[in-house]
A and B are shown apart, each in its own frame.
Chain A
């Protein structure tokens, strides 16, 4: 395998990790808000 094709070793990408966590938190918040909105209009007795 040529040097340029070798998988990157010892990845250190903390910035991207933070962005990813931010994405997942945003998703969790939006998802919960939507279930809450659904619960507000669809009452289960």
Chain B
């Protein structure tokens, strides 16, 4: 069992690790590829959560294609009511269900395999999964039957069917139970000395993500329970400004769970694809702590034009405190590629400035997905995010397409792409099935990255021309005035559609390849996975 310790942490006084872990007899297997222990109970729930993640990814992906083809002015596919319905479904399935099902799978994997422990509770894992699945299905049922056309934000006074709020609450509580199960697993691993020293960095990142998840889900409960009671006419309408403020404690932070989990996946994929090791454990862990402390405050940038909160509050939160969370991303954004560079140079690829980068395993979809994710997240998402989070600049960008242009590079080009890269290892190692059509697998990250980059850049440029976000018809058909968007804005909207189609093709290829591998792929039981 490999372990990672914080530099300078005294180890001598600690009792020796129980290398056999704390697994009951017959409840663990040894990975044929890595030699790491795999708790069979956790493995079952990793599979279940990962499969549901991909199912909801498909729902969100089809929704994305329909939206892209509607915002493409010359196609303008959906009627107005279905546009907002599908937009609601897209946000919830992509930002919440796909990502959080995947994150729960990651937590169970990290808590058991990397810490050499059994899963704390099978009952909690089942309860968590059942509640999350019920909640996600209920929300989708409400949305697709037209009873929750309230967008993902569900700002009051927009009111959905009680089933919508109930579904969100069920999903959130189910996730919280999964997170508690993860913390309990970390606790019993520590108690039973199943690993040496401090938890590995990847596990540390997962713990940071889980802590942020708890704060996020508490915000969700605070805001969604009153909304649910209001939808039942049991209480009056919650204050709209209060609702927006607390909702972003849920809405923004849920994306920061993604960031912490994504960074953990970067470290994991960097290690298994190139042998990279973190340059400095203390610095990397410190950066995760910055996420925990300051990410919540960063949610203020969603309210930069909100009249309900003061300028001092906005500027302090976004122009001072938020930068400490940005600093954390910059630290990871430097240390991850630097660790890859160092590993590649040690292997002898040290020619010039970028010899290590050209010699990197670009044919390995785990590496290409992770590195493209890092570049898209850092260069496109990071630069636009910090700029848009400045109050004065936000005034010319708020509610334009520049905002979704930004977050599609962080959540999709960053997190989703990194999770896809992770799947190219999870399926062979956990499901013990090989991917077929490996040439197609190698190309998939590039297709998806190209599509999402084109779409996001086109969104950003269109937004710079004033094109609004969440808008069915920028022509304002039948309106007594013409908004007079520049021809370039229309061209950019066309590129948004083209980018969406290309990204969807990449997404569909990923889903088809993964579903085929999981259910029909060649088994690799008893031997190591075929190397990429």
Contact = CB atoms under 8 A, between A and B. Distances in A.
Contacts of B387: 27, 30-31, 34
Contacts of A7: 7, 279-282
Query: Which one of A27, A34, A37, A41 has the greatest number of beta carbons of chain B within 10 Å?
Result: A34
Interface in B264-295: 277, 279-282
Interface string A1-36: 110111110011111101110010011001100110
B11 interface: yes
Contacts of A37: 396, 464
A16 B379 contact: no
Contacts of B234: none
Given A7-B279, A7-B281, A8-B280, A20 B334 contact: yes
A41 B386 CA distance: 21
Interface residues of B, number: 40
Q: What is the size category of the interface that chain A forms with chain B?
A: 20 to 34
Interface in B320-371: 333-334, 337-339, 341-342, 345, 353-354, 356-357
A23 B196 CA distance: 38
B383 A23 contact: yes
A14 B81 CA distance: 54
A1 to B, nearest CB: 6
A11 B197 contact: no
B281 A15 contact: no
Contacts of B464: 37
Majority secondary structure, B binding face? helix
A27 to B, nearest CB: 5
Contacts of B393: 34-35, 38
A14 B354 CA distance: 9
A42 B279 contact: no
Given A1-B7, A5-B197, A13 B338 contact: yes
Nearest to B355: A15
A20 B197 CA distance: 32
Contacts of B279: 7-8, 11, 13
B384 A30 contact: yes
Contacts of B379: 23, 26
A2 B354 CA distance: 31
A12 B395 contact: no
A19 to B, nearest CB: 6
Interface string B369-399: 0000000001100111011001011011100
12 contacts: A4-B277, A11-B279, A11-B338, A15-B341, A15-B357, A16-B337, A16-B341, A23-B383, A26-B383, A27-B386, A38-B392, A38-B396
Interface of A: 1-2, 4-8, 11-16, 18-20, 23, 26-27, 30-31, 34-35, 37-38, 41-42
Given A2-B5, A4-B277, A26-B379, 5 more contacts: A1-B11, A7-B7, A27-B382, A34-B397, A38-B393
